[in-house]
Copies of this chain bind each other. A is one copy, B any other.
């Protein structure tokens, strides 16, 4: 502790992202990126913007991108907030809707950034243990003191919660904001976006980093009642007038417009997920049913950390969380068919399964 640090710094326990190693020949299945590049129209839009005015500030209100997102979801622009990745959108949301002194709730196994935000902003929280099948302990999220946040599908479990249960949580927190973090929703069933017009206490957060192949561009957004969006804008405009640069805005707009490419790559990822799940079962893995672009798996015999380490030796990165009760699980991002064939051949090289009977 340095004497110049504020109490906020002293409280922090920073988030540690998955290993970001840039190395030729590395198969990177550890941070849930899309294996497909963004739409060619994204590249073209950025090329065009690059010829324009990089020495001029971008739009502070980012109206053109908000309009395109609104159109996609049949909402109004005033129901859309955009930010520098959904992580920034979530940070602003913690500031805008959660309060020091009022305890919020989120699942104990969930996006590990939530307790990090809570510590930074001095917001008390309770982590609600999952049920044994990793489903949410529903009634624990009713009538909360400070609000609720959880991912749907949940991460890293990959499990989807249906809209009936989401609705129950929203209706049972009439005076608090419920934030649904839909980073992986495009690989799943229905989004909660359809509930935004009905519930003024619902905020849905999404990202372009996963299904729209733009992790490298940093664009996320939130959808909600105009008064929630105004709160986010007030925080953002008290923090940084321009959080999205000109190239990110141009690329994100093109990504929202190219619906065919989005549908095609998303379907490819989910198709790959299904056959990989089956093949993993055959060599002794059990899996949570996944509605995401990753699989959350454990092996009946071999320790998860050992598998992680063996794969890393062979230039394959997957993610291991050193935290009970998931410390014997691995989170494996879905790559291309070729990526996953390579993964399976690596696994087969050290997992000996002639006697596998259960999965």
Binding site for B on A (CB under 8 A): 2-9, 12-17, 20, 22, 28, 31, 33-38, 42-43, 46-47, 50, 53-60, 84-85, 87-88, 91, 95-100, 116-117, 119-120, 175-177, 200-201, 209, 213-218, 227-228, 230-231, 233-235, 237-248, 251
How far does the alpha carbon of A13 sit from the alpha carbon of B238 in the complex, in Å? 7
Cβ contacts A to B, 8 pairs, < 8 Å: A2-B231, A6-B98, A46-B247, A54-B217, A54-B251, A58-B215, A87-B242, A217-B247
Contacts A9-B95, A43-B50 known; 5 new A-B pairs at CB < 8 A: A3-B175, A5-B96, A55-B213, A116-B237, A216-B245
- Supposing A99-B6, A246-B216 touch, asked if A240 and B84 sit within 8 A by C-beta, the answer is yes
Please determine whether B235 and A2 come into contact, CB atoms closer than 8 angstroms.
Answer: no
**For residue A215, which residues in chain B have a CB less than 8 angstroms away from its CB?**
54-58
Please determine whether B13 and A38 come into contact, CB atoms closer than 8 angstroms.
Answer: no
Question: Oligomeric state, in number of copies?
Answer: 2
**For residue A53, which residues in chain B have a CB less than 8 angstroms away from its CB?**
37, 216
Please determine whether B241 and A17 come into contact, CB atoms closer than 8 angstroms.
Answer: yes
**For residue A238, which residues in chain B have a CB less than 8 angstroms away from its CB?**
12-15, 116-117, 119-120
**Closest B-chain residue to A98, C-beta based?**
B6
